[in-house]
Structure 1
């Protein structure tokens, strides 16, 4: 059986809705033509979900853009076909293709905020889409838009129509994109990493929503993702791509139970799984050791709004009275959904935002530090951010970036700083010869290793990893996490590991705190929180984690009927403080309401 034949829809099925045959997409860069996708073939039946999986650069998104006719100017389909209901989409002129987009084939992009127009209301954007393809009145288009929003379970759709994208949460914006894509009942929906930027609970809601809408409308779905847990839960069949070529395709159960290609096996082996963390547990650091960092009743507030006299009227309670410590050689985790205050805690620890309460690093209270003291404390605490490309100066070589902290603090001569940077490159799995290159010449995983090397330059006692692996492919993520673990064994450095990926957290941390609306609802060792979760919010987070095993059927997810409450309160009416109770051996749980 050939590769193309193996990618066809199940035998005995009707004619495929979509048939991609020997598709080759090339890019012309500085006069050189090179393939981005080569000889790709697969078929998709009506009502079926096909997942295209693979790491960044494998050609997944380029394939979807080729089908949609949205390729950049220097990228083109040079051979092959993408036949939707018998029509070759890449060969259509733009005028004709415009009529197909939205009406027959629609697409949901990864980041809804960049896909929605910030200066137009949700209602105007939705009615524009409907009226561009159907000759209906504004009133009829508005009614259809409200009905579409209602179908994706957006509360108060009439009110949402008047709102702007920035007024909605990330999950709500993604639901708007789904409503917009399905408003015209297209035959094919392409979802390009539709949940990558979403919290695990919102991710599950969106995926279940897509499944429910697919049952109602019979729409076929191409799901593009690098999350094998999402693939296991949603797909009927899977195409695995690498370097622009298909390496394997199979029904989802077969692919997970008996992958035939080495790359697929490596991809599945790198997926973090809930339940495996306990087997890798190491002894907790002694409590008697003085903590590297300590927070007692820490609070971070931001005043917003203004009355007639220009005084603020409301207050954002970003962090509201949290307490914990981080011991030497320990990895302490902070988990929770977007907006719960995780990153604000990190910034307050690093002295980047003003705070109330007591925060100390290496025994020194941050509020008591002079300007020089704050500068000195940076030697003990460093950060590794989520996006390594944004964290590195594109005009500096990576060698200069790694040695820059030493220069700022006046440590060593130029020769000594260069030698130190070379040693750090070697330590994080790169070569000193690469120091003369610039950030854009490295892959995402390599750039994150460079950021880790820079964080280690001053030999800090605490490194804050703020979503430092969430944007990486699963295999690269595994490499970076392994690197952090090795460095901790070598240097006894402590980590504050911030993430919304519960499976990753379980495989990394020693202790953790679960945050909700600026407060801690549960805190304990990894085994206590993951093995015996007590708070309903912790249980909801764990229930929402995708399981990379299609044979395991999960319980129906209890979708929240209301939106998450806001951390914004009128000044003078602060939120109720949660009180943590010790339920045994340092396992703290807040009152559950």
Structure 2
């Protein structure tokens, strides 16, 4: 009998009987209870489970980054025989980043907002390697190039707020990979990434493992990512391990009822075609209409202080959103999806025409703009950055009602309590602060805040990207329920093509600030015509380990950029109707 190679390789990391507890208002309660697992060199171990199940707090314990009121109360965290839980900070600091590194879930809160990207990358490299500033800069640029960030040398001189959410996540991945650690903890590493970059990043992690035998702990709610990357899977619920096995075993024969529920909630590409609801008809006055909307900003400076280049974030974008419709915007990170959403909400200046309810937004008076903000609400991509850290979450959800003077205090409180229950949170949690919640729970709070005014249009900018699949399904069902009840419309922005197919009526595909294909859900997903749309769909992870080895053509060369010298505008895409309102740009 041949002994499997995995069985004879000693664990690189061994977690034994781990219990993590929090002291809250004088009461000690466990967050993780008696967790045990091993991780071998070159292995990918996925930890899956609902938001708040203990996945991220386990990773923070491994990194020695637990909050002050949270501690390891029992168990061992052995990295090459050294118990990380017992190490003082002076001994843990050299290991953190060099031997065990982490890609954090929320890049905006993990990056220093007052330091340039380059300074943060080179600082991380020089903290662990004896290299010069120039050598560290070369390594940093190469790390950015590996995660396919366009113009890496220019990005080094930018601040985090100047990058899109997906680009910030890629910077975090580049920072973690630059030092080639022995153990890499990836906490939702592809949450903010579109499917093509997600595919490239997962391929990059596999390449790193092949070259350096790095072990990866993948914390994710995306079961498609688990199926395509994991060797073994741990399923957690309420701080406890409920099932463990190989990826093939977990997907083919899940033993625990919770695991079966988790897999049943996974959105699958192709399932949206089974939905029989017709596309809402055209209306004389749509909820929103964009006509050749463009957003650009100037960068650089010549000798006279004048800008030298222009970033065309969005260029000639035209579409409308009908009453009761869910309109989707998909495309790569940095393609202009969020920029268009902000222009629609009046948060960034724009050129072209944007109408809300038939009224041009550029001609509205101050009091009309306030009324407009009641009708249009936005769920932002980064929930931690969208919530005031000093305000209790119940007050944050109630605040829009106070601003618009809606209802009595008792009525406002009752509406907030109802929304907390409907998004899967308890009313007792209303008195807590944002930092006391997991990333997925914070996103649910943001969704409740957007719903509290019962607006006509909700802009969902990656609104379910931080949610585990079961809660994601609940929230999407809630959004559909509210649409049916109130005739509400949505602009749904997402990189998750399977989710998009299951919720939208019509959608537009954006590339480098322009729409390259637009049509109904069935037209785009059933008959994609533009090469970029086809590439997006080919990159979607499939929640089936047996279909892991699919051919995917990796992009080569330098990623294209929306940056052009002033006076040199990109060519505007010419959309052709190929039948039934299915518009495709000439490629």
Give TM-score, length-normalised by structure 1: 0.85
- Once residues 396 and 186 of structure 2 are traced to their aligned partners in structure 1, the CA distance between those partners, rounded to angstroms, is 37
1:389–1:439 contact (8 Å) kept in structure 2: no
2:171 to 166, 170, 173: 173
Secondary structure in structure 1 of the residue aligned to 2:174: helix
- Once residues 388 and 158 of structure 1 are traced to their aligned partners in structure 2, the CA distance between those partners, rounded to angstroms, is 27
- Once residues 244 and 158 of structure 1 are traced to their aligned partners in structure 2, the CA distance between those partners, rounded to angstroms, is 40
1:394–1:439 contact (8 Å) kept in structure 2: no
Closer/same/farther in 2, CA of residues 278 and 208 from structure 1, 3 Å limit: same
Other-structure match for 2:184:
189
Q: Structure 2: state its 5+ residue gaps.
A: none
1:422 to 404, 414, 438: 414
Q: Report the Cα offset of residue 250 of structure 1.
A: 0.8
Secondary structure in structure 1 of the residue aligned to 2:339: helix
Closer/same/farther in 2, CA of residues 219 and 419 from structure 1, 3 Å limit: closer
Q: Report the Cα offset of residue 14 of structure 1.
A: 3.6
Q: What's the Cα RMSD here? A: 3.7
Secondary structure in structure 2 of the residue aligned to 1:322: strand
- Once residues 138 and 297 of structure 2 are traced to their aligned partners in structure 1, the CA distance between those partners, rounded to angstroms, is 39
2:263 to 262, 268, 276: 268
Q: Report the Cα offset of residue 160 of structure 1.
A: 8.7
1:358 to 350, 353, 360: 353
- Once residues 210 and 388 of structure 2 are traced to their aligned partners in structure 1, the CA distance between those partners, rounded to angstroms, is 48
Q: Report the Cα offset of residue 223 of structure 1.
A: 1.8
Give TM-score, length-normalised by structure 2: 0.86
- Once residues 400 and 323 of structure 2 are traced to their aligned partners in structure 1, the CA distance between those partners, rounded to angstroms, is 22
Note the 1:446-461 alignment, pairs <5 A: 451-452=446-447, 454-456=449-451, 458-461=453-456
Per-residue deviation, residues 296-342 of structure 1 (Å, max 9, x unmatched): 11122223334444433332222211111111111111111222221
Q: Report the Cα offset of residue 436 of structure 1.
A: 10
Closer/same/farther in 2, CA of residues 44 and 471 from structure 1, 3 Å limit: closer
- Once residues 479 and 52 of structure 1 are traced to their aligned partners in structure 2, the CA distance between those partners, rounded to angstroms, is 21
Q: Does 1:505 align with 2:500?
A: yes
Closer/same/farther in 2, CA of residues 553 and 115 from structure 1, 3 Å limit: same
- Once residues 32 and 422 of structure 1 are traced to their aligned partners in structure 2, the CA distance between those partners, rounded to angstroms, is 29
Per-residue deviation, residues 41-67 of structure 1 (Å, max 9, x unmatched): 112233222111222322223323333
- Once residues 123 and 390 of structure 1 are traced to their aligned partners in structure 2, the CA distance between those partners, rounded to angstroms, is 25
- Once residues 27 and 344 of structure 2 are traced to their aligned partners in structure 1, the CA distance between those partners, rounded to angstroms, is 49
Q: Does 1:285 align with 2:280?
A: yes
1:52–1:222 contact (8 Å) kept in structure 2: yes
1:537 to 529, 532, 536: 532
Per-residue deviation, residues 157-186 of structure 1 (Å, max 9, x unmatched): 99699767759843652453243231xxx5
* Bigger CA radius of gyration: 1
Other-structure match for 2:491:
496
- Once residues 158 and 407 of structure 1 are traced to their aligned partners in structure 2, the CA distance between those partners, rounded to angstroms, is 45
* More moved, 523-532 vs 260-269: 260-269
Note the 1:246-261 alignment, pairs <5 A: 246-261=241-256
Per-residue deviation, residues 240-291 of structure 1 (Å, max 9, x unmatched): 1122211110111110111111221122122222111111241111225532
- Once residues 398 and 490 of structure 1 are traced to their aligned partners in structure 2, the CA distance between those partners, rounded to angstroms, is 26
Secondary structure in structure 2 of the residue aligned to 1:496: strand
Closer/same/farther in 2, CA of residues 254 and 458 from structure 1, 3 Å limit: closer
Note the 1:172-571 alignment, pairs <5 A: 172-182=170-180, 186-287=181-282, 289-388=284-383, 390-391=385-386, 405=400, 408-409=403-404, 414-415=407-408, 418-419=410-411, 422=414, 426=418, 429-430=421-422, 434=427, 437-438=430-431, 440=433, 451-452=446-447, 454-456=449-451, 458-571=453-566
Closer/same/farther in 2, CA of residues 47 and 283 from structure 1, 3 Å limit: same
Q: Report the Cα offset of residue 399 of structure 1.
A: 6.7
Secondary structure in structure 1 of the residue aligned to 2:546: coil
- Once residues 272 and 447 of structure 1 are traced to their aligned partners in structure 2, the CA distance between those partners, rounded to angstroms, is 22
Secondary structure in structure 1 of the residue aligned to 2:129: helix
* More moved, 325-334 vs 547-556: 547-556
1:448–1:480 contact (8 Å) kept in structure 2: no
Per-residue deviation, residues 488-537 of structure 1 (Å, max 9, x unmatched): 11111111111222111111100000111211011000111111111121
Secondary structure in structure 1 of the residue aligned to 2:216: strand
Q: Does 1:55 align with 2:50?
A: yes
Closer/same/farther in 2, CA of residues 402 and 83 from structure 1, 3 Å limit: closer
1:112–1:177 contact (8 Å) kept in structure 2: no
Closer/same/farther in 2, CA of residues 86 and 571 from structure 1, 3 Å limit: closer
Secondary structure in structure 1 of the residue aligned to 2:377: strand
Q: Report the Cα offset of residue 110 of structure 1.
A: 3.6
Secondary structure in structure 2 of the residue aligned to 1:298: strand
- Once residues 533 and 73 of structure 1 are traced to their aligned partners in structure 2, the CA distance between those partners, rounded to angstroms, is 52
2:221–2:467 contact (8 Å) kept in structure 1: no
1:346–1:464 contact (8 Å) kept in structure 2: yes
Per-residue deviation, residues 517-558 of structure 1 (Å, max 9, x unmatched): 211011000111111111121122222222111111342322
1:403–1:418 contact (8 Å) kept in structure 2: no
1:26–1:75 contact (8 Å) kept in structure 2: yes
Secondary structure in structure 1 of the residue aligned to 2:547: coil
Secondary structure in structure 1 of the residue aligned to 2:556: coil
- Once residues 177 and 481 of structure 1 are traced to their aligned partners in structure 2, the CA distance between those partners, rounded to angstroms, is 34
1:201–1:541 contact (8 Å) kept in structure 2: yes
* More moved, 167-176 vs 558-567: 167-176
